[in-house]
Amino acid sequence: MKIETLEPKTDKRETNPSKVVSEAEWLVARKDLLTREKELTRLRDEVSQHRRELPRVKIDKEYVFDGPDGRETLADLFAGRSQLIVYHFMLGPGWEEGCKSCSYLADHFDGANWHLPHRDVTFAVVSRAPLSEIEPFKKRMGWRFKWISSHDNDFNFDYHVSATKEEQAKGKMYYNYRTQELMSEEMPGLSVFYKDENGDVYHTYSTYARGLDILVGAYNFLDFVPKGRDEDHLDFTMEWVRHYDRY
């Protein structure tokens, strides 16, 4: 079973068309909005500071992944840096292709990944599908980022992006810090790790569902335009999204 969307939408209100005004009236409204935009920016900076100040959990369990460079541990994935971001991509064993919503996010990864290493950050993508099933899809999409398989370890289960057999049987899954109805055996997420000078690895942060919105540059562009994301009339967010080679 696959999931093609991150979250159901229930708000079907139509977007109200903006009224036409003079340049002077528009400037008053724009300055009022600018005040709120600045408030949001300051609040976002404050939340980001709190995120950085979260306590850490030491990782004692060993995870070994299959990747293009062979077998690697979680510590190996840092590639000589102290910070690691892992995106949990929805591609389960036996799937014909990766989730289109995760693919929508992944289309943005390579551009950012040119710059992350220069801020002491390594980025990797992980899926539970075997590497032999990951690589053909990665090639089809033309992505360059490192993509590894957690098929032979508990990584996806421990970070609550893959449903266990027990969860699948119950139809409920612990996801986004609460137990909820099972939408798919694979779910999206992002986890952050830190490695200290002694080589010890710590989990510092994970986010899921709408917490991943910040990764979607295309959404940020759409938020600028009059129609916005134009999703209120859809049954699910991202219902309109396709793999970019299928529009």
SS3 sequence, the chain?
A: CCCCCCCECCCCCCCCCCCCCCHHHHHHHHHHHHHHHHHHHHHHHHHHHHHHCCCCEECCCCCEEEECCEEEECCHHHCCCCEEEEEECCCCCCCCCCCHHHHHHHCCHHHHHCCHHHHCEEEEEEECCCHHHHHHHHHHHCCCCCEEECCCCCHHHHCCCECCHHHHHHCEEEECCEEEECCCCECCEEEEEEECCCCCEEEEEEEEHHHHHHHCHHHHHHCCCCCCCCCCCCCECCCCCCCHHHC
pLDDT at 100: 97
Please tell me the pTM assigned to this model: 0.91
CATH numeric code, 58-246 = 3.40.30.10
Cα–Cα distance measured from residue 229 to residue 220, given in angstroms and rounded to the nearest whole number:
9
pLDDT class of 18 with cuts at 50, 70, 90: confident
Model pLDDT for residues 51-82, shown as the tens digit of each residue: 999 999 999 999 999 999 999 999 999 999 99
pLDDT value of residue 17:
66
Measure the CA–CA gap between 212 and 226, rounded to whole angstroms. Answer: 23
181 vs 236, residue with greater confidence: 181
Q: Cα-flanking dihedrals φ and ψ of residue 127, to 5°?
A: -140, 160
Task: Please report which confidence band the pLDDT of residue 12 belongs to, taking 50, 70 and 90 as the band edges.
Answer: very low
- Region 167-181: mean pLDDT is 97
Sort residue 238 into left (φ over 0), alpha (ψ -120 to 50) or beta. Answer: left
Domain positions in the chain are: 20-53, 58-246
